Amino acid sequence: MTDALFWYGCNMTRHAEIIRLGTQMLAAVGVAAAPTGGPSACCGSPKESSPRIAEGMANRTMQRFNQSGAAQVITWCPTCHMNLDDFMGATQGKQAESAHLAQALWQRREALAPMLTQSVAGRVLIDMHIGNRTGVNEAVPGLLRLIPGVTVLEHPYRAASYMCFGLASIPGALADAKANMLAAMAAMGADTLVTIFHSCHRELVGLERTHGIRVVNWVHLLAEGMGLAYQDEYKAWRNSDDPEAAIGAERIAAAGEEAVRKLVLPELTRPR
C-alpha cells in the first residue's frame, strides 16, 4: 500500500528536476509519496475535444489511484487538480484525499521551516493567476516567506486564466500578461519573478534574458533555501543562443530526433 501519490501529470517531462525536488521535499516533511505521471496517468484534458477518449483516460487514471490504496493524491498540474475534484472522483469514486503540492507543504510548514537554513537574496513577485482552485495563491507566498533573505512583494495584478496555457490561444493575451507582470515588478522594485506552474515557467523564463530579471519556479526557490542542488535545464535551453547544441546530440537521439525537432525546438526558439 502506498501512503501518498505525487501526481505530476502528463506534461512535466521537461522539468524532471521539479518532480525530483517535490518528492524530496515531501519526504523531508514526512510524506512518502510515490511519483506518478506521464501519458498513462493523464486526467484526459489533452483529449477534451474527444469526450469518450478523455473520459476513458481519466477513468483509467482514477482506477489506478484507487487500486494503489494511497490515502492522499498530491497534485502538481492545476488542470489535473481541478479535474480530479470535478469529475474523475465523481465517476469513479474518489477514495483518497487530495491537495496540491504547495498546500501539502504549507500544511507541514512547522516541519519544513527549520530546514530552510540557506539565505536567498531576492525581492520576489509571484506570477499569480485567477481561475484555479488549487490554493496555490495562498500557499506559495507563505512558503516563500519562510526562506531567509526572501522578500515577497504584494501587487494586486493577477493574470487571467488559471495558468499561462489558458492564454496561449488568445491573440495578444500572453504578451499583455507579460507586459503587465513586468510593469508590476517595476512598480514594486522586484528583481525576481517566481512562477507557479510549468506552463507559466516555460512562457516566462525567456524574460530572464531579455529583461535582466531572474525567473525561477517556487519549487526551485524552496530548494535553494533548503540547500538542495538542482539544474533548471529548460531555462538554460530556452535562453541559449543555440538550444539544439545546449540539449546535445546524444540526448536528442535518445529522445527521438524527429520528436525533438517537431515538438521541442520550435518551443525553445519562439520569440520571447
pLDDT at residue 1, rounded to an integer: 46
What is the b/e burial string over 132-144, where b = at least 16 CB atoms within 10 angstroms of the residue's CB? bebbbeebbbebb
pLDDT of residue 11: 82
Ordered by start, the domain boundaries in the chain are 4-106, 116-226, 240-269
Instruction: State the pTM of this model.
Output: 0.93
Same fold, 4-106 and 116-226: yes
Q: Does domain 4-106 have CATH number 3.30.70?
A: no
* Tens-digit pLDDT string for the chain (272 aa): 458 999 998 888 789 999 999 999 999 999 999 999 988 888 888 766 677 777 888 888 888 888 888 999 999 999 888 888 777 766 667 778 899 999 999 999 999 999 999 999 999 999 999 988 899 999 999 999 999 999 999 999 999 999 998 898 899 999 999 999 999 999 999 999 999 999 999 999 999 999 999 999 999 999 999 999 999 999 999 999 999 999 999 999 998 999 999 989 999 998 88
Instruction: Please tell us whether the domain made up of 116-226 is placed in CATH 3.40.50.10700.
Output: yes
